[in-house]
Amino acid sequence: MQQDKPETLLSREEIGVRTARMAEEITEDYRGRDLVMIGVLKGAFVFLADLSRQVELPLEIDFVAVSSYGEDTRSSGVVKIIKDIDLEIAGKDVLLVEDIVDTGLTLKYLAGMLRDRGPASVEICALLNKPDARKVDIEIKYCGFDVPPKFVVGYGLDYAERYRQLPYVGVLEETEGSEGTD
């Protein structure tokens, strides 16, 4: 499943407008609180960079890296922590920033792991949401866009480590097994 230029689903401009609005909401909601934004690598790095620069608050940023896909388009269902966070989050408000929520299995696991460390709160912010793919109940406090159950790439999202650099979110041609879930 590879094509030169995936079909545009969300333009750079649409993403920019929605990201700015989400940053305004986060700024308002966390004013006067001790906020830590934790990006889920690798996919969320572009979104987290753009979002965090627009949040008008002092904050800390950290990253966690997990694997549940490998080079496949379907989640293995097993979450493996590749890089844990470095910051102490006890007593702080944590905003877990993700590129896309599909099944919800990865985020449910990560949110639970972080809650066990005693933060004041743990909320989820995702650029993309695939509600039709959900396997577990998970609340996304800040959601950019609901997207159809297609395999999407760009703006940090990849297929076999390709397409992350695209400034838009695009859809790859459908092939057998290309639904993509976390």
User: Any catalytic annotation for residue 102?
Assistant: yes
Burial class (CB in 10 A: 0-12, 13-18, 19+), 8: middle
- Answer yes or no: are the C-beta atoms of 140 and 123 closer than 8 Å: no
Which is catalytic among the residues 102, 137, 146, 158? 102
Q: Which of 147, 36, 163, 157 is nearest to 97 (CA)?
A: 36
The C-alpha torsion from 147 through 51 and 105 to 92, rounded to 10°, is -150
CA distance 151 to 61: 28
- Answer yes or no: are the C-beta atoms of 148 and 178 closer than 8 Å: no
CA distance 95 to 18: 17
The residues that are catalytic are 102
